[in-house]
Amino acid sequence: MERVIVVGVETQDNYQVFTESMKELVNLTETAQGEVVGELTQKLPSVSNKTIVGKGKLEELNQLVLAREADIVIFNHELTARQASQIEAAVQVKVIDRVQLILDIFALRARSKEGQLQVELAQLNYLLPRLTGQGIAMSRLGGGIGTRGPGETKLETDRRHIRSKMTQIKHELKEIAAHRGRIRQKRQESEVFQIGLIGYTNAGKSTIMNLITEANTYSMNQLFATLDPLTKKWTLPSGMQMTLTDTVGFIQDLPTQLIEAFQSTLEESRGMDLLLHVVDASSTDRLQQEQTVLHLLKQLDMEEIPVLTVYNKADLCDQDSFVPTLFPSCLISALNPADADELKTAIIKEMKLVLVPYQAELSEDKAYLLNEMTLKTIVDHWEYQEETGTYLVNGYAKSGSKWLNEQFYQQ
């Protein structure tokens, strides 16, 4: 494991979230298989344009690197190429920032072809503006034999190569996104109710998915354990079939490069009928995490989708004194199988608010449709009317359901 020193500057802009942000940086470092051997912080009105920290602190950082035999320094701020090279010159070890660290974790976690392409695109997006050349030494333009005439610098060649690679990846991602879009379109045409799991990283989304669908997805106490979206079929106790989709977790200051690269993955959540916003109820930074997710939902134009907040990890907090801040909500522990029914009840309650109530009358020769209604809608109650020889069905269906309109009168 690489030995790491984490560095952060508390400013007027970040003082409210600084402590939690530094804790998160330590967790991110450990997720990336690094060992934090030291931490350096400084209070400044704003970060230094040259080296983020002040001159004295930079010297202190150099001494700390030597004393702790560190291999790498990670800053809790996005660094420019110039800042990184100046800090590296002072401390003589590799220097990276929070964005690079997150990208590295994503590279570590990506399993599918799409996930790997998205991470590579984000990394190239990050790298492009940070490429620096070495002047005439890297140029094919010079004053000697074989160097006369048109040419381009090594830096320009690298930039052209990266842009070409990015274009190629975007083309491949476009094809994958089109395929995903066709699958999504089929689901919408089949009028399947779709639920999406969203939330801060490590809130327990995959564990909740395993709790109610027995999906056996990878769920660990790690940041970004899930990168590739996974959709599973889920059947309600009433018999209605729907889908549940697990997506990548959000995080404070989620790099813009990642939002752009993971656009097609995030598209999955945009087409949902209901979102389950999973929140770690035991986190000391719960309010900030909630706001981060809500802000990103706004950024991704997903504000209009109905949301049920699921406060998870009830086993790690005092349930009697717990006060929810988002509504509607429920408090559960995804590790407790007994809480599955409570969660399902809360989901069905919200679904009934999203769906449209209907009443249908089935003649005896159409009784076979009752089974299909049970699969496609929430059938609340049905009874056989002896005097008319018909079945009276009450339930809830998707608004404008073509299937239901073709078969019955809807009210």
Q: Is 228 annotated as a binding residue?
A: yes
- The single residue listed with the structure tokens 């339930």 is 395
Q: Is 204 annotated as a binding residue?
A: yes
Q: Same CATH topology for 2-106 and 191-353?
A: yes
Q: Is 227 annotated as a binding residue?
A: yes
Q: Is 29 annotated as a binding residue?
A: no
Tokens found for residue 115: 């996930």
Determine contact, residues 251/236, Cβ cutoff 8 Å.
Answer: no
Does the structure show a pLDDT above 50 at 287?
A: yes
* Eight-class DSSP state of 248: P
Tokens found for residue 74: 């990670």
Top pLDDT among 259 and 399 is at: 399
Q: Is 247 annotated as a binding residue?
A: yes
Q: Is 226 annotated as a binding residue?
A: yes
**Lowest-pLDDT range of 6-10, 74-78, 122-126:** 122-126
Q: Is 409 annotated as a binding residue?
A: no
Q: Is 125 annotated as a binding residue?
A: no
Domain boundaries, the chain: 2-106, 191-353, 356-409
Q: Is 225 annotated as a binding residue?
A: yes
**Lowest-pLDDT range of 30-39, 153-162, 180-189, 235-244:** 180-189
| Three-state secondary structure call for residue 410 | coil
**Lowest-pLDDT range of 219-223, 232-236, 339-343, 344-348:** 219-223
The fraction of the chain above a pLDDT of 70, given in percent, is 89
pLDDT in tens, 297-307: 888 888 999 99
- CATH of the domain spanning 191-353: 3.40.50.300
pLDDT in tens, 197-229: 999 988 999 899 999 887 666 566 666 666 667
Q: Is 70 annotated as a binding residue?
A: no
Contacts for 219-226 with beta carbons within 8 Å, 24 or more apart? 222/31, 223/27, 223/28, 223/31, 223/105, 223/249, 223/251, 224/31, 224/102, 224/105, 224/106, 224/109, 224/248, 224/249, 224/251, 225/109, 226/109
Question: What is the average per-residue pLDDT within 49-64?
Answer: 96
Q: Which of 243, 204, 211, 196 is nearest to 225 (CA)?
A: 204
Q: Is 17 annotated as a binding residue?
A: no
Q: Is 135 annotated as a binding residue?
A: no
Does the structure show a pLDDT above 80 at 196?
A: yes
How far is Cα 288 from Cα 323, in angstroms, rounded to an integer? 15
Q: Is 206 annotated as a binding residue?
A: yes
Determine contact, residues 308/350, Cβ cutoff 8 Å.
Answer: yes
pLDDT for the residue 153: 67
Q: How many other C-beta atoms can be found within 10 angstroms of the C-beta atom of residue 59?
A: 13
Top pLDDT among 171 and 184 is at: 171
Vertex 53, ends 49 and 57: CA angle to 5°? 145
Query: Any bridge partners for residue 193, and if so which?
Result: 242
Q: Is 314 annotated as a binding residue?
A: yes
Q: Is 249 annotated as a binding residue?
A: yes
How far is Cα 58 from Cα 51, in angstroms, rounded to an integer? 8
pLDDT in tens, 136-146: 444 444 444 44
According to the per-residue pLDDT averaged within each range, which of 175-179, 214-218, 406-410 is highest? 175-179
Q: Is 38 annotated as a binding residue?
A: no
Top pLDDT among 18 and 266 is at: 18
Q: Is 213 annotated as a binding residue?
A: no
Q: Which of 218, 247, 242, 205 is nearest to 230 (CA)?
A: 247
Determine contact, residues 161/210, Cβ cutoff 8 Å.
Answer: no
- CATH of the domain spanning 2-106: 3.40.50.11060
Q: Is 298 annotated as a binding residue?
A: no
